[in-house]
Amino acid sequence: TSFGFKQVHEEEKARLVGDVFTSVAANYDTMNDLMSAGLHRLWKERLVSMLNPFLGMKHLDVAGGTGDVAFRILDNINKVKQSGIRNRFQDGLEEETQIYVCDINPNMLNVGKQRATEKGYGEDGSLVWVEGNAESLSFQNDSMDGYTIAFGIRNVTHIEKVLSEAHRYDLYSFSVIPRVGELVAGDRESYQYLVESIRRFPPQEKFASMIADAGFQKVEYENLVGGVVAIHSGLKI
């Protein structure tokens, strides 16, 4: 039946995603640099500056992989801390910053934990590593100030489920969506799957309307490098 076919297709997709990221976990960061000529760093910087993180923030970075976005958020908060700008912490709430890095693949998270130690964030209780599926997460409703998913949403099976999960938590959400150009040093099947997943991902306007349909307001997007990559954002008000 077509249902049977769909089922197989979805299991296959989940398996391929697993295989792709397991085989690349150790070299993932180097690969990112090579493939985007280092540009992913600028894109992530832009994402974090739009997010405008603050001391005491509770943030969920889904498909967080090796922690690249989470480290930047923490770096940014530490910079603000040093600059003495007022924030929730100083206003007496005294809440601890918590950045949750959530990924479906434990190998990516392990590489991330290692990197955290190398960066001096190993003992920092602000980073929390969580294995989980973007389509069905275990955090409480309204427990986060922010949510990001960077270069991750095209890998999921049901975009709508991910967006409705995102809407459960946060005041604002951001995602970086690459439109083209991901190469993976994996087997041909995995590679073809990734190329296909980028080609099939909805265009910017359509994705923006899906974010709005999930309940977010003030949905906007910014194209980078002429739309090769876009940052979508929305607010839960």
Q: Which run of H or E residues covers position 80? A: helix 68-83
| Listed ranges 48-56, 59-67, 89-97, 219-227: which one lies at the site for ligand SAM (CB under 6 A) | 59-67
Among 16, 36, 54, 64, indicate the residue that binds ligand SAM (CB under 6 A): 64
The token pair at 8 is 């197989």
d(CA 158, CA 161): 5
Counting contacts by CB under 6 A, is residue 214 touching ligand SAM?
A: no
Map the footprint of ligand SAM across residues 108-147, applying CB under 6 A. 108, 133-135
Residue 156 in the binding site for ligand SAM (CB under 6 A): yes
C-beta closer to ligand SAM: residue 40 or 56: 40
Does 151 help bind ligand SAM (rule: CB under 6 A)?
yes
Closest approach of ligand SAM to the CB of residue 188, in Å: 18
| Residue 129: strand pairing partners | 101
Judged by CB under 6 A, which of 36, 97, 155, 197 binds ligand SAM? 155
Q: Which stretch binds ligand SAM (CB under 6 A): 87-95, 100-108, 196-204, 218-226?
A: 100-108
Who's near 14: CB < 8 A, 6+ residues apart? 157
Q: Which helix (H) or strand (E) holds 208?
A: helix 204-213
Burial degree of 79 (CB within 10 A; 0-12, 13-18, 19+): exposed
Q: Which of 77, 99, 104, 166 binds ligand SAM (CB under 6 A)?
A: 104
**165 and 136 Cβ atoms separated by less than 8 Å:** yes
Among 105, 126, 175, 197, binds ligand SAM (CB under 6 A): 105
Cβ neighbour number for residue 143 with a 10 Å cutoff = 13
Query: Is the separation of the CB atoms in 68 and 107 below 8 Å?
Result: no
DSSP state of 26: G
- Does 184 engage in binding with ligand SAM (CB under 6 A)? no
In the complex, the residues that contact ligand SAM under the rule CB under 6 A are 17, 21, 32, 62-65, 68-69, 103-105, 108, 133-135, 150-152, 155-156
